[in-house]
Structure 1
Amino acid sequence: MSSDALAELSAQLPGDALLVGADAVEAYRRDRALDPTAGVPLAVALPRTTAEVQAVVRWAAAHGIPIVPRGAGTGLSGGASAVDGGIVLSTERMRDLRIDRTTRTATVQPGLLNAELKAAAAAEGLWYPPDPASYEICSIGGNIATNAGGLCCVKYGVTVDYVLGLEVVLADGRALRLGGPLIKDVAGLSLTKLFVGSEGTLGVITEITLRLLPAAPAPRIVAAWFASIEAAAAAIAEISTTIRPSLLEYMDRTCIDAVEDLLGRGLDRDAAALVLGGSDDLDPDGRDVAFMIDAFRRHGACEVAETGRAEGEALAAARRAAIPAVERRGRLLLSDVGVPLPRLGDLIAGVDAISRDREVTIAMLAHAGDGNTHPLVVFDPTDAVAAERAELAYGEIMSLAISLGGTISGEHGVGRMKRPWLREQIGDDALEIAERIKLALDPDGILNPGAIFEAR
């Protein structure tokens, strides 16, 4: 790429909106998956407006340069790994926010953080439910790109359930506006939902219209400690198929130990598992809470108690801290496999067996109420033998989830890390249709090549 061509792009952007040079682009090469195959980009673009995104995309299309859209870089599947000689298009400066109380909607740019939207909505007496564990540092654009979930999604749904409209810049530079502040809109094909979860492979999202809800009551939290993972899984299965909790989370002993090392919250290190159940039902008799307490006890919990509000919030915060806590113990291969609820116990037991067979630590945490789990394979990256065992275990977890009728990704996306198992899950025909859609919208393959699909 000639310096003249790069100068042409720089001239179309504000003076500080294009980063070049190895040192300047290094921080934008990888997301939290730490993809070892990430390339070195030609430059990093930092647009603030849809028009500036269009300028970057049109320039890249004219020169055949790949573009990797990037949010806050908190992704866990290598969806934002840079490509050699490409452009990383970071939306971190796109942070506008407007809330309309009359329609209960928020219109935001993709760089706004999830926590910032929640705070702004709360100031208006409203609520944005999707709450990834990383909500304080992850961006709305990244949440849209991966169709992120979170702790309360067992009752309130995932990101796509709140997306009413999008503005998307296509691979040819056109800005496409879809949907808007309408509760019902079925005119034409559902193109809005096509882009949610597409991981930047079909277009660059530059504006989002989101549905907000009235503020929810504070949940009542029940904590249950178990001596075996099998007993915990059995209790989860009964609760999740009988009532609709607002939260049902699982942490195994490895996660408990790691979080206790990090936060020192007095967690029970002797327990095999901790399950947190929550209910924001306003029923004065608290029937859901009573049911959870009874179910935990009948399935052999060593200790069960409804927490006070402060303790419940502290335990929820401990659950949110699990991934960074485990990450302090070594390099992680992060997964987010999901299974039908009746197979959750089989998945937890199967991952435990893989851990023993491969002699590798696998920490397990889960949004258990919707069957979405996060097995974290921990290894020493300086030990080549241990790294190989970890890679084998990671692949076996993918295949195990598929064999149980599940998915290789419940909320973090396929990215580059899980692409080898996508065909095994969805089959040849579905993959071919998906590739046709990709070809129709991005015929030259410049948008996030290598994520979800093989790079062309």
Structure 2
Amino acid sequence: MSRTLIELLQEGLPAEAVLTDPDVTSAYSHDMASFCDAGAPAVVVLPRTVEQVQHVMRTATALRVPVVPQGARTGLSGAANATDGCIVLSLVKMNRILEISPVDRIAVVEPGVVNAALSRAVGEHGLYYPPDPSSWEMCTIGGNIGTASGGLCCVKYGVTAEYVLGLDVVLADGRLMSTGRRTAKGVAGYDLTRLFVGSEGSLGIVVRAVLALKPKPPQQLVLAAEFASTGAACDAVCKIMEGGHVPSLLELMDRTTVRAVNALANMGLPETTEALLLAAFDTPHPAADLAAVGALCEAAGATQVVPAEDAAESELLLQARRLSLTALEAVKGTTMIDDVCVPRSRLAEMLDGVERIGEKYGLTIGVCAHAGDGNTHPTVCFDAADADEARRARESFDEIMALGLELGGTITGEHGVGVLKKEWLAREIGPVGVEMQRAVKAAFDPHHLLNPGKLF
């Protein structure tokens, strides 16, 4: 069967686009998540055109071979992990920015465009693409759409779903479907565009996206506030949001994360603090906004408030935040990164609960968070070679997700479900929710070929 599959794929793809060497294909077998099973793909294909993607899907349907779509594999839930005998459909070669329109404030892109490359390209036109995951220098727009990713600036500008206006999607049987629009508004029919955003490649293959852009804002300035407890830092977050302030960024790093970043990059962050809160404004008068927020931080118990003096200092602080997950991975060599999101009003309870869970299991768990969204990233640090420690890491991870649901939150704010959180998705949405989602899946992919084993 494998030989027939390869031969049929080669009929519609250039030779260099079909990879069969196991030493090469194994590199495409998984994303960056821990504790997620991955199989051995039969073949990896790297199409460059829509027609080539259609050929792959027609071949897969004819032979009933599963297909796992992939971007840059920077995901953290196993959503891009291969299954045994599958076709891995890597879209990284479809990396063209097809159009940037300052009048319509849209960009039209292929799925393999890297997030940072798009941001820089639209910036040359005085425009701004806000979604900025921490992996923005590597992750692709297709992957961002598949996982409905967020980022540091979501507190003001929102997440990926709010910027996807329209899509071209190759369905499981190879047909091409267009959804959405390129107009400023439109309500024709069911919102199938939003349906595909966050579907983790389980409903179709995104081959083109129309993205909304915003005018490029002024350079943001950042403030750093130190707190003697995470509870005080969370109180400051509540005061900032309750006061009607609209920061472009509101991020929290706990003591463990601060020390890990210093150990990795010698950033000189204050290691005596229990929590470091970063707030930024990209308004016409950011210094005044920072002063107002600084006063709220002091009222909440901040031991020190330091506003950046210029863009360079601001960028240094943001770089420290972006290094958080990499730094925590260096603590023990392996991490399980959660992304539980809770109501802002319950953020302190979430962080206090994570601390208790870490103590219970004898593990280092650092927390960095998109605090303005209530989106926490408890990161369990462990030695994967130590079987008992790995077991405790997995159990602590599950307790953190249970805590998030108990506090009225969700098991994933931006990383997706993939393989890692399948059981927890069922708990969150309930049996009726699972039934309806499976019905949607069956309508788009009746043979269950697209990214099987993910979500549910």
Q: Does 1:201 align with 2:167?
A: no
CA distance in 1: counterparts of 2:200 and 2:242, whole angstroms: 31
Residue pair 2:340, 2:376 contacting (<8 A) in 1 also: yes
How far 1:283 sits from its partner (Å)? 4.5
Structure 1 residues 60 and 285, CA gap change in structure 2 (3 angstroms): closer
How far 1:290 sits from its partner (Å)? 2.3
Q: Secondary structure at the match of 1:440?
A: helix
Equivalent residue, structure 2, for 1:281: 283
String of CA shifts for 1:202-243, please: whole Å, max 9, x gaps: 001000000111111112211001121111111112112322
Equivalent residue, structure 2, for 1:84: 84
How far 1:284 sits from its partner (Å)? 7.7
Q: Does 1:62 align with 2:65?
A: no
CA distance in 2: counterparts of 1:9 and 1:285, whole angstroms: 58
Equivalent residue, structure 2, for 1:316: 318
Structure 1 residues 39 and 191, CA gap change in structure 2 (3 angstroms): same
CA distance in 1: counterparts of 2:396 and 2:378, whole angstroms: 10
The 5 Å alignment of 1:184-333 reads 184-242=185-243, 243-283=245-285, 286=288, 288-308=289-309, 309-329=311-331, 330-333=333-336
How far 1:426 sits from its partner (Å)? 1.2
Return the match for 1:338 from 338, 341, 345: 341
Residue pair 2:36, 2:78 contacting (<8 A) in 1 also: no
How far 1:324 sits from its partner (Å)? 1.0
Residue pair 1:221, 1:312 contacting (<8 A) in 2 also: yes
Residue pair 1:95, 1:109 contacting (<8 A) in 2 also: yes
CA distance in 2: counterparts of 1:440 and 1:27, whole angstroms: 32
Residue pair 1:12, 1:52 contacting (<8 A) in 2 also: yes
Residue pair 2:36, 2:419 contacting (<8 A) in 1 also: no
Q: Secondary structure at the match of 1:378?
A: strand
Q: Secondary structure at the match of 1:16?
A: helix
Which moves more between the two structures, 263-272 or 440-449?
263-272
Equivalent residue, structure 2, for 1:7: 7
String of CA shifts for 1:1-30, please: whole Å, max 9, x gaps: 241331111221011001112101011011
Q: Secondary structure at the match of 2:365?
A: strand
CA distance in 1: counterparts of 2:85 and 2:286, whole angstroms: 61
Q: Does 1:147 align with 2:148?
A: yes
Q: Does 1:419 align with 2:430?
A: no
String of CA shifts for 1:319-341, please: whole Å, max 9, x gaps: 01111111112211111110011
CA distance in 1: counterparts of 2:345 and 2:5, whole angstroms: 56
Q: Does 1:17 align with 2:17?
A: yes
Where in structure 2 are there 5+ consecutive unaligned residues? none
CA distance in 2: counterparts of 1:2 and 1:24, whole angstroms: 17
CA distance in 1: counterparts of 2:80 and 2:334, whole angstroms: 18
Over 3 Å off, 4+ runs = none
Return the match for 1:358 from 357, 361, 382: 361
How far 1:34 sits from its partner (Å)? 4.0
Which moves more between the two structures, 3-12 or 70-79?
3-12
Equivalent residue, structure 1, for 2:125: 124
How far 1:412 sits from its partner (Å)? 0.7
How far 1:413 sits from its partner (Å)? 0.5
How far 1:419 sits from its partner (Å)? 0.9
CA distance in 2: counterparts of 1:442 and 1:8, whole angstroms: 21
Q: Secondary structure at the match of 1:443?
A: coil
Which amino acid letter does the alignment assign opposite residue 142 of structure 2?
A: G
Residue pair 1:257, 1:269 contacting (<8 A) in 2 also: yes
% of aligned pairs identical?
48
CA distance in 2: counterparts of 1:149 and 1:77, whole angstroms: 14
CA distance in 1: counterparts of 2:52 and 2:327, whole angstroms: 38
Residue pair 2:2, 2:42 contacting (<8 A) in 1 also: no
Which moves more between the two structures, 302-311 or 402-411?
302-311
CA distance in 1: counterparts of 2:436 and 2:343, whole angstroms: 25
Residue pair 1:402, 1:424 contacting (<8 A) in 2 also: no
CA distance in 1: counterparts of 2:13 and 2:39, whole angstroms: 24
Residue pair 2:38, 2:82 contacting (<8 A) in 1 also: yes
Equivalent residue, structure 2, for 1:370: 373
CA distance in 1: counterparts of 2:287 and 2:377, whole angstroms: 34
Which amino acid letter does the alignment assign opposite residue 9 of structure 2?
A: L
Structure 1 residues 35 and 7, CA gap change in structure 2 (3 angstroms): farther
Q: Secondary structure at the match of 1:328?
A: helix
Equivalent residue, structure 1, for 2:407: 404
Equivalent residue, structure 2, for 1:96: 96
Which amino acid letter does the alignment assign opposite residue 269 of structure 2?
A: L
CA distance in 2: counterparts of 1:310 and 1:170, whole angstroms: 46
**Scaled by the length of structure 2, what TM-score is found?**
0.97
CA distance in 1: counterparts of 2:5 and 2:260, whole angstroms: 49
Q: Secondary structure at the match of 1:302?
A: strand
Residue pair 1:249, 1:365 contacting (<8 A) in 2 also: yes
**Scaled by the length of structure 1, what TM-score is found?**
0.97
Equivalent residue, structure 2, for 1:42: 42
CA distance in 2: counterparts of 1:189 and 1:69, whole angstroms: 24
Which amino acid letter does the alignment assign opposite residue 273 of structure 1?
A: A
Equivalent residue, structure 2, for 1:433: 436
Q: Does 1:172 align with 2:173?
A: yes
Aligned alpha-carbon RMSD (Å): 1.2
Q: Secondary structure at the match of 2:438?
A: helix
String of CA shifts for 1:400-438, please: whole Å, max 9, x gaps: 101111001000101110111111111111111111100
Which moves more between the two structures, 230-239 or 127-136?
230-239
CA distance in 2: counterparts of 1:111 and 1:38, whole angstroms: 22
Residue pair 1:35, 1:81 contacting (<8 A) in 2 also: no
Q: Secondary structure at the match of 2:226?
A: strand
Which moves more between the two structures, 79-88 or 5-14?
5-14
Which amino acid letter does the alignment assign opposite residue 313 of structure 1?
A: E
Structure 1 residues 13 and 35, CA gap change in structure 2 (3 angstroms): farther
Q: Secondary structure at the match of 2:16?
A: coil
Q: Secondary structure at the match of 1:450?
A: coil
Which amino acid letter does the alignment assign opposite residue 79 of structure 2?
A: G
CA distance in 2: counterparts of 1:282 and 1:4, whole angstroms: 62
